[in-house]
Amino acid sequence: MHDMLAKGSKQVFLFFGSIALIFSVIHLLSGKYFFLYACVFCLLFFVFSFYFFRDPERNGEISSYHMLSPADGRVVAIDGHKICIFMNMTDVHVNRIPMDGEVLLTQHSKGSYFPAFLKSSKHNERLTTKLKTPHGFIELVQIAGFGFRRIHSYIHAGDAVSQNQKFGMILFGSRVDVTIPESFEIHVHKYQKVRAGVSIIASLKDSEVEEDGKSCKFD
């Protein structure tokens, strides 16, 4: 069961479990039903957390010629070479590496806490990860939403990462923006649903694939 839950879930379970226990004790001592209702609410959220922190196996097609989606959710915007994916409360919130590469930078930035689907969320707290890949640079921006506003990162600068590898998660409603190299063409459209580690969001342009194939031939 533990392997099916995302990293960072333990703290949430302990928090709501402890609060529920405290409220139940206060109810028993005071007899006030307010604390009983609060206890029930915390227990319901405790149970919901098992669903939210699920971490299913993902076995997408691995290739150096295409990029896999870094997040579950819906494409809410495509701005040039940037794809914005919004994750609602029912989506899997574990984020995955779209393509093999090396981590150049992980940078946390403080900010506001607007709902992640709004344009104003561009001012929200975020964690920026920059990757160097064989086909160019990729930027991943994990943007916190209105809820718990916590971003967990599993990687650090200097790490070698592989396609479909888990690199972090955001708690309770959030967004992931991914900027793709210019040598890639986008294969998703606005409002399309995507799955992390499974959906192909972009691939190397045909001319670039041909050139790459020629460079691998030997006389």
Mean pLDDT of the chain: 81
Topology of the domain comprising 66-210? Glucose Permease (Domain IIA) (2.70.70)
pTM of the model: 0.75
Mean pLDDT in residue range 188-210:
88
Per-residue pLDDT tens for 41-84? 777 777 777 777 788 888 889 998 999 999 999 999 999 999 99
Residues 134 and 10: their CA atoms lie apart, in Å, by 36
Q: Which residue has the higher pLDDT, 160 or 213?
A: 160
> In this structure, are residues 155 and 106 in contact, taking their beta carbons and an 8 Å threshold?
yes
Q: Which residue has the higher pLDDT, 171 or 167?
A: 167
What are the two backbone dihedrals, phi and then psi, of residue 140, each rounded to the nearest 5 degrees? -115, 130
- Where is average pLDDT lowest: 48-57, 103-112, 171-180, 210-219? 210-219
Question: How would you label 50-77 residue by residue, b for 16+ Cβ within 10 Å and e otherwise?
Answer: eebbebeebebeeeeebbbbbbbbbbbe
> In this structure, are residues 177 and 83 in contact, taking their beta carbons and an 8 Å threshold?
yes
What are the two backbone dihedrals, phi and then psi, of residue 123, each rounded to the nearest 5 degrees? -100, 5
Q: Which of 45-54, 107-116, 136-145, 200-209 has the highest mean pLDDT?
A: 136-145
Per-residue pLDDT tens for 1-20? 444 555 655 666 666 667 77
Note the pLDDT of residue 1: 43
Can 174 be counted among the known catalytic residues?
yes
Note the pLDDT of residue 215: 46
**Residue of 49, 69, 153, 174 with catalytic role:** 174
